[in-house]
Structure 1
Amino acid sequence: MAPNTKRVFYVNNVSAPVYLEILAKRPDIQVDRLENDSPEAAVEPVLAQAHAYQIGSSRQELAMPFQGYAPLLARCPNLLVLSTNGAGFDTVSLADATAAGVAVVNQAGGNKEGVAEHVMALMLTLSKRIPMADKAMRRSSDYKRPDFMGDDVQGRTIGIVGIGHVGGRVAELCCGLFGMRVLAFDPYLTAEQIAAKGAEKVATLDDLLRQADYVSINCPHTAETRGMIGAPQFAAMRSHAYFINTARGGIHDEAALAQALTAKQLAGAGLDVWEDEPPPSDHPLLRFDNVVASPHNAGITRQSRHNIARIAAEQMLDILDGRKPPRLLNPEVWPVYRDRFSRILGVTPEA
């Protein structure tokens, strides 16, 4: 083992092989792999020596003992960084990590193309009523083409909730490809910043919902956004509008959405994310012909996985080399983190 070796571990898998390939080029980095069911005798020494944890982003796929909360952090006295496998950080408590002096980073933007294209696919599929036509054709020949009359998207209005990496790319595609009017609700960006992304800033979520023909959710799942879209918000939407969520389950109320669809308060929904994943096959929302469903795979493209893995590896090396990472989710931890890094690795990171 090389002097001053940095220990990195992951559980089950990484996004793509390129992550391990990049880290393997550094003789001072040792990578350990655990699994959800690894025996305690294998787990304990890895956690005790780990400096960094490349953590999975799915709550359903990562066993609770390996999720980034206080009980795990207490077992990792030398841990300096939690790095998620994607843009989401559902498996990490920022508060617990900050209290422990652990930096948390994600790979925001790494899968923006895959997710943004998925938004477009859902929007077009719903507008052209492709699922209903497909199902009717497979059942019998007793149907009429006008029953599946759809809508053009050109010149219509899309409302984007959260115009970061993915939302910004959705805005670019909608504006550039279809000449759509793009509205955005994002309280963390100014009107000028949003205009630079090709969208108009609206003051409130209701302003967006009342004007949009399509509503696309592209914000992170946080305490602030959980349950943000419920019965009042669906009631505010236009009856011909479509709701699309490729961000995270829990941002919208699934029961309220089912009730809104039953009441025909909106025209349909495209859902890539669910409160429980995978959703049960008898989930109420899967009974609607005007709901297009996918199993949280918007960002799972070969290109996105490779990109996320590359970004994760490069950022991991940056932070272990003492540089401040560009995707730090808890910047308030930095002073304490620097002290811990200096004590554990003998080098003081940049201010």
Structure 2
Amino acid sequence: MTKHVLVYRPLPADQLAALRARFDVTVLERPQAHDPDFRAAVATAHGLIGASVKLDRALLDTAPALEVISSISVGYDNYDLPYLKARGILLTNTPDVLTETTADTAFALILATARRVVELANWVRDGHWTRNIGAAHYGTDVHHKRLGIVGFGRIGAAVARRGRLGFGMEVLYCNDSARPELEAELGARRRTLDELLQEADFVCLNLPLLPQTEGLIGAREFALMRPETIFINASRGRVVDEAALIEALRTGRIRAAGLDVFEREPLPADSPLPRLPNVVALPHIGSATHETRAAMARCAAENLIEALSGRRPPNLVDASVWEDRRAAR
């Protein structure tokens, strides 16, 4: 029997052809979870490949043959891991291939926010540049400042390298475990979260969304920052209490924020964040380059092919599910 695969995010032609050579493939580009065609395709699928659609228990309960979900992302907060483990459904993701691109985005936010790039570009576009600028339009330096990294994994380390090696920044980090190899490489110093928030000139979040990180940064944490602090979030929006962030920005509790992620995405039209002059807001572009999205698709397709061929896929989110399946054979 040929296995059925549902593709619910656009794939490059070569990756789609590789799947079609092996499986019965249904393609539904960018569906919503409630779409009848999507739900019908899920129900008969052995494998799913896509991203950005919430796959809840009620939906997956309709898919008795499902073996693997190949997520075209590094984050996996859209998935119920205990449920997938109980069902024996493999979940794979695409780490590594997006590390450098996402770090580029985070550092772009650091530079754009510190130097007020978007605000002043719009000011020029709107015809306000009629004389030399003065102090009212000055930004703040990035080089040799203190860069505070909250979450010192692959992406956090890549942001830190840009800051330390490219801009001579002093690196502070907060992480569940010490990273002695990065301390040696970058001169990074480990801090508690409270210490980092009080000391850093730039606070950059690089955290997955987990129960223990949801709402991690709220009014209390913003109160610990200095008025000169610039806050950067290119991880997950719900790590931050957005109402508290808006209040901190409006009252001058912090200098500015550079944001690629939000509590709700797309950002609601009535959100005040894009209209605040001290905010740079992007539409979740962390990995959005042609090269990186192609690499993510290739990685996800390889994960799916390996799993449905009975082999261990290289990027399992929870390797214990694979071991449980092997033990049950």
TM-score, normalised to structure 1's length?
0.84
Q: Indicate the larger mover: 294-303 or 107-116.
A: 107-116
Task: Pick the aligned partner of 1:180 from 163, 169, 182.
Answer: 169
5+ residue gaps, structure 2, are none
Identity of aligned residues (%): 35
Once the two structures are superposed, residues 111-157 of structure 1 have per-residue CA deviations (whole angstroms, 9 ceiling, x without a partner) of 22221111111111111122332343325346633222222211111
Shift of 1:39: 4.1
Shift of 1:235: 1.1
Query: Match for residue 66 of structure 2?
Result: 79
Query: Match for residue 124 of structure 1?
Result: 111
Once the two structures are superposed, residues 329-351 of structure 1 have per-residue CA deviations (whole angstroms, 9 ceiling, x without a partner) of 223323333367x5xxxxxxxxx
Query: Match for residue 232 of structure 2?
Result: 244
* Structure 2: distance between partners of 1:142 and 1:98: 63
Superposition pairs for residues 191-210 of structure 1, below 5 Å?
191-195=179-183, 198=186, 200-210=188-198
Task: Pick the aligned partner of 1:165 from 150, 154, 168.
Answer: 154
Query: Match for residue 310 of structure 1?
Result: 298
Which letter does structure 1 place at the counterpart of 2:19?
Answer: L
* Structure 2: distance between partners of 1:115 and 1:319: 27
* Match status 1:47 vs 2:42: yes
Say if 1:270 and 1:291, in contact at 8 Å, map to a contact too: yes
* Match status 1:151 vs 2:146: no
Query: Match for residue 10 of structure 2?
Result: 14
Superposition pairs for residues 31-42 of structure 1, below 5 Å?
31-34=25-28, 35-36=31-32, 39=36
* Match status 1:90 vs 2:87: no
Aligned length: 324
Which letter does structure 1 place at the counterpart of 2:66?
Answer: L
Once the two structures are superposed, residues 278-317 of structure 1 have per-residue CA deviations (whole angstroms, 9 ceiling, x without a partner) of 1123312223101001111222111111110111112222
Query: Match for residue 319 of structure 1?
Result: 307
Shift of 1:204: 1.6
Which letter does structure 2 place at the counterpart of 1:249?
Answer: G
Q: Do the aligned partners of residues 242 and 206 (structure 1) sit closer, same or farther apart at CA in structure 2, a change above 3 Å counting?
A: same
Shift of 1:197: 6.2
* Structure 2: distance between partners of 1:94 and 1:197: 35
Shift of 1:179: 1.5
* Structure 1: distance between partners of 2:181 and 2:284: 29
SS class of match (1:327): coil
SS class of match (2:163): helix
Query: Match for residue 257 of structure 2?
Result: 269
SS class of match (2:286): coil
* Structure 2: distance between partners of 1:49 and 1:179: 55
* Structure 1: distance between partners of 2:237 and 2:98: 18
| RMSD of aligned Cα (Å) | 2.3
Task: Pick the aligned partner of 1:221 from 170, 195, 209.
Answer: 209
Q: Do the aligned partners of residues 16 and 272 (structure 1) sit closer, same or farther apart at CA in structure 2, a change above 3 Å counting?
A: farther
Superposition pairs for residues 125-144 of structure 1, below 5 Å?
125-137=112-124, 138-141=126-129, 144=133
Say if 1:68 and 1:97, in contact at 8 Å, map to a contact too: no
Query: Match for residue 294 of structure 1?
Result: 282
SS class of match (1:250): helix
Which letter does structure 1 place at the counterpart of 2:310?
Answer: G
Q: Do the aligned partners of residues 16 and 268 (structure 1) sit closer, same or farther apart at CA in structure 2, a change above 3 Å counting?
A: farther
* Structure 1: distance between partners of 2:182 and 2:135: 39
* Structure 2: distance between partners of 1:337 and 1:76: 18
Once the two structures are superposed, residues 9-45 of structure 1 have per-residue CA deviations (whole angstroms, 9 ceiling, x without a partner) of 122x235444314334xx43332223447545x854x
5+ residue gaps, structure 1, are 343-351
Q: Indicate the larger mover: 313-322 or 220-229.
A: 313-322
Q: Do the aligned partners of residues 196 and 164 (structure 1) sit closer, same or farther apart at CA in structure 2, a change above 3 Å counting?
A: farther
Query: Match for residue 97 of structure 2?
Result: 110
* Structure 2: distance between partners of 1:18 and 1:225: 38
Say if 1:182 and 1:200, in contact at 8 Å, map to a contact too: yes
Q: Do the aligned partners of residues 7 and 229 (structure 1) sit closer, same or farther apart at CA in structure 2, a change above 3 Å counting?
A: same
Which letter does structure 1 place at the counterpart of 2:6?
Answer: F
Which letter does structure 2 place at the counterpart of 1:220?
Answer: P
Q: Do the aligned partners of residues 52 and 339 (structure 1) sit closer, same or farther apart at CA in structure 2, a change above 3 Å counting?
A: farther
* Structure 2: distance between partners of 1:200 and 1:107: 27
Say if 1:73 and 1:100, in contact at 8 Å, map to a contact too: no
SS class of match (1:53): strand
* Match status 1:337 vs 2:325: yes
SS class of match (2:239): coil
Once the two structures are superposed, residues 42-68 of structure 1 have per-residue CA deviations (whole angstroms, 9 ceiling, x without a partner) of 854x43442211131x2xxx3xxxx32
